[in-house]
Each structure stands twice: as structure tokens, then as C-alpha cells.
Amino acid sequence: MSTNKGEIDNEYLELELLMEGIYRKYGFDFRDYSSVHLKRRLDHRLAISGLKNFTQILHRIIYDEEFFKSILLDLSINVTEMFRDPPFYKEVRKEIVPYLHTYPFVKIWHAGCSAGQEVYSTAILLEEEGLLPRMQIYATDFNEMILDKAKNGIYPVENIKSYTENYQKAGGKASFADYYTAQYESVIIKQRLKDNILFSFHNLVTDGVFGEMNVIFCRNVLIYFNKDLQNKVLRLFCDSLVPGGFLCLGTKETLKFSDVEDYFEIVSPREKIYRKKR
Amino acid sequence: MRRLSAVVVGASAGGFRALSQLLSSLSENFPVPVVIVQHLSPESMNLSVAQLDRICRLEVKECDDKEPLLPGKVYIAPPNYHLLLEPDHTIGLSVDPKVNYSRPSIDVMFETAAEAYGDELAAVVLTGANNDGTMGCLKIKNFGGLVIVQDPATAEAETMPKSVIDNVGADYIIPLNEIGKLLNKLAEENPNG
Ligand SMILES: C[S@@+](CC[C@H](N)C(=O)[O-])C[C@H]1O[C@@H](n2cnc3c(N)ncnc32)[C@H](O)[C@@H]1O
């Protein structure tokens, strides 16, 4: 069997039409996601669905909402962990926490929060810094199923070892076990960490500004977007931040060469922490 | 292979030494991009990129998201991210689940490279103690690309090159010290235009 580039070009054409169909029918807009990423996810779906090509997927999603939902899950990659990139959290303590102490009330937005590990990591950090009672944290994602998981804050016990290591490397001041209750095969995040967090649906591509935020975390979401969409979402973040507010991206995401570069100063080039100019 | 437009390299256990030797033998005016996935622990990564840059006549860098692939530059996948090649020859990164227990995975990079470069691609499989890269080589061959494998007898760990030879078949099975020379020669023989 041999394949050639021309066939691939045709497949990408079908893929574009599929994304157009999903948008027109269901309002979810993947048209500006990274195309190789979309193709890999959908190639996988093709292989297990018994359908022959993307055009057949398009036909099926138009008439079968349940099938569309499974595609939606394919396209939302929820891989996450607690205190992912420990040096990042150290930097948050050093650079952002002192600023938060100067405010009586603080608004924080975790965009693309997945199953909640990232936002609970922040809640733990803020509690250790004595800040949690003053915080209103918004945690959003466009995947309803993963949002439910995030609200519950129940995680498999086998992840705890690596989470604990991350916590310690991230400069944790207490014992990680203080923050969860173990129950059979699972651990449950303590209720007091959840009190100031509001989980809600928000699609970064199609929904609007979240006003007057002091800090926005959006890590490992932008890499799935193409350059145009990255710019659009970065503008949304810029408009949602108060002057002097912070934007935290994933370690391989950057404001460099973006449309909003000039509106920010770089706080940590390595950990990708930026501050909106006043 | 119709012409050489990109080189992709996969390496695992023992890969740092093998990569050092390979990269130091590429000629100064090597005319196409080289993209590398090396399995490594996150901690040791930065150090090795700097070291490889020192010994290679070409610029060696850890790649960034959406970076365009340029001739004569060497791109290394960052630890903990998959490296994918987009159809427009830019780099995409993802935190998708591990493949073959690895992130970055050689298969992910090779498979996307096959689609992006078709029959203008050469793949190099170096030392390693697992099977990552085999599926990717299969796809590269199906697209008419070239597969070069380090002679397992010269590899610190033979499993990875051997798996490609046994399951896919290689166009070249040669000792490590000849791979750079072969790539230089393939690049020189490129038809004009
Ligand atoms: C790889 S996870 C990153 C999770 C976490 N921020 C971290 O770094 O560990 C990406 C998350 O972004 C969400 N996402 C992708 N596209 C989105 C969009 N258009 N709007 C909101 N969330 C989105 C996915 O559902 C997924 O939960």
C-alpha cells in the first residue's frame, strides 16, 4: 500500500468541511484549531468507528447528536495533573502572591481547567499564603463532562504519589495529605478548597470577556489553536484583565510575536508569566 | 524518496551520544531541517540541547510551538510535549496522552512527518530500548520516504533499530559513523528546484 501527498490534501479538505458542518450544526467552532492535531484525533475515531472517511463522519454527526458528543470528547484533550511544572508554581508564589496581598478582593480565572487539578493546585497555594478567603476563582472549560469531574474533585488514588512529589517541588508548605480525604480507590479534595471556586461552561473561541480579572491562568490550551485563533483568544484575555493583572501561559506558549505582545511586560520568561501594563 | 526536504530522527536509550556523533558530522551548509525526538527525563533536557548546539555546525534548538521549519536548523522536541509536523511545515506541540509510554513519542512525530513531507522525507532510527518509531517508519515507507537505521551492532541499545528492521525493513542499515555522511550525500544529490 502506498499513499501520496495528494490524498492527504484531499483528506484535509474533507476535514475542513467536517469542521464547518460541526460549527453550523452545533455551534462548536474548531475551524481554527491546529489541523494536524484535529486530523490525528479524528483518524483515531475513524479507525474505531468503522466509517471510511471524514465525509461519512460529517454525515453521521448531522443526524446523530450522540455521535457528535463522542467526537467532541475526542477533540478535547483533558490531560492534566496537580502542580504540573512545579517551578511554575514557585514563580507564582514569588511574583504574583505579593501583588495579591495588596488587594482586599481578588478575581482569578482558570480558562481550560480540565478536570480541576490545576485550579485546586492554585487554591492550595493561595490557602498556604493566607489568601484564599479573599479570592473568587472562576474555572471554565467547554467540555461539560470534564467540568462535572472538576466540580467533584475526585481523583484516582494512584495519581497521588506523583501529585505529592509535584507539590513538594512546587514549594508546598504543609503536607499534601492535608488537602484530600482518601476513600477506597479515590481521593476527594477537601470542601474548604472548593468554596471559592465557581465552575462554569465557557468556550474560548465563541464566548466573550470575563471582566476585571486580576490573574488569568490558561495553560496548555493555546497550543491546540492556530496562530489566528491564538491571537483572538489572547486579545480576549487582555481585555479581561485589570491593568497590572497577570497572565500565565503553559511553558511552551508565548506572547512573543502575538498581537498583544506590546500590552504586556514579561515577568518570568521561563515560566511564561506576563503582566498587563498599567 | 524523490528528493530530500526534511530529516527526522528518533533516539532513546543511549541516544545522546549517538546524536552527538550524528550531528557533528552534518555539513555546514546542510540544506534541509532536521527534527529530533529523543526520549529523556525532563530534568536532563536543557543541558543536552546546549551541548549538542556546541558540537554541531548547524544551530540546534529546543523547538517552539508554531515555529516554521527552516533549512539547516536542528529542532529538538521539548520534554513532556509531543512534537507534530503540520502540513504547512510548521511545528505543533501537544500534551496528548503518552504514546508507547513516551511523550514526546517518535511515532507521533514520524507519522505526522510522513503526511507533511510524503516522499521527500528521510527518517533515521538510532539506539533505543523500546519499539517507539516502528509504526512511524511504516507510515513513512508507505508514503515513499526513506528509512535509515543504525546498525544494531553499533547501538548502545539494539531493540529500537532492530524492531524497525524486523517489522518494516530499512533502506539502509549502517554504522552510526556513516549516517551523517549518507545524509550529506543525499542532500547534495537533491535535484535542483
Ligand atoms: C490539555 S488540557 C490543559 C489543562 C490544564 N490547563 C493544564 O495545563 O494542566 C486542555 C483543556 O482545554 C479545554 N479546551 C480546549 N478548547 C477549548 C475552548 N475552545 N474553550 C474552552 N476550553 C477549551 C479542553 O477541554 C481541556 O480540558
Domains of chain A: 10-75 (no CATH), 86-276 (3.40.50.150)
What CATH number does the domain containing B167 carry?
3.40.50.180
Look at residue B1 and tell me if it is in a domain: no
What does the pLDDT average to over A248-264? Answer: 96
> Does A91 contact ligand 1 (Cβ within 6 A)?
no
Look at residue B97 and tell me if it is in a domain: yes
Provide the 3-class DSSP secondary structure of residue B57.
Answer: coil
Provide the 3-class DSSP secondary structure of residue A269.
Answer: coil
Is this prediction's pTM over 0.90?
Answer: yes
Contact B146, B123 (CB under 8 A): yes
Contact A137, A164 (CB under 8 A): no
Q: What pLDDT shows up at residue A1? A: 47
- In degrees rounded to 5, what are phi and psi of residue A46? -55, -50
Does pLDDT of B45 surpass 70?
no
Q: Ligand 1 test: best mutation among A19, A117, A142, most atoms within 8 Å of CB?
A: A142
> Does A142 contact ligand 1 (Cβ within 6 A)?
yes
Contact A224, B95 (CB under 8 A): no
Q: Which range (A13-27, A47-61, A239-253, B41-55) has the least confidence? A: B41-55
Does pLDDT of A215 surpass 50?
yes
Q: How far apart are the CA of A73 and the centre of ligand 1, in A?
A: 11
Candidates B1, B94, B120, partner chain A, best to mutate (most A CBs within 10 A)? B94
What does the pLDDT average to over A22-44? Answer: 96
CB of B35 within 8 Å of a chain A CB? The answer is no
Look at residue B193 and tell me if it is in a domain: no
Q: Which range (A87-96, B44-53, B56-65, B102-111) has the least confidence? A: B44-53
- In degrees rounded to 5, what are phi and psi of residue B5? -115, -15
| Residue B88 among the catalytic residues | no
Does pLDDT of A127 surpass 60?
yes
| Residue B12 among the catalytic residues | yes
CB of B89 within 8 Å of a chain A CB? The answer is no
Pairing of strands B82-85, B91-94: antiparallel
Does pLDDT of B193 surpass 70?
no
Task: Provide the residue range defining the domain that includes B95.
Answer: 6-188
Does pLDDT of B78 surpass 90?
yes
> Does A112 contact ligand 1 (Cβ within 6 A)?
yes
Look at residue B120 and tell me if it is in a domain: yes
- The yes/no answer to whether this complex scores an ipTM above 0.90 is yes
What residues pair up with A181 in beta bridges, in sequence order? Answer: A188
Contact A76, A45 (CB under 8 A): no
Number of domains observed in the structure of chain B: 1
- Chain B residue nearest residue A36, CA to CA: B86
Does pLDDT of B95 surpass 50?
yes
Pairing of strands B6-11, A264-268: unpaired
Exposed, middle or buried: residue B40 (CB in 10 Å: 0-12, 13-18, 19+)?
A: buried
A254 vs A269: CA distance, rounded Å: 9
Chain A residues with CB inside 8 Å of B115's CB?
Answer: 5, 8, 36, 39
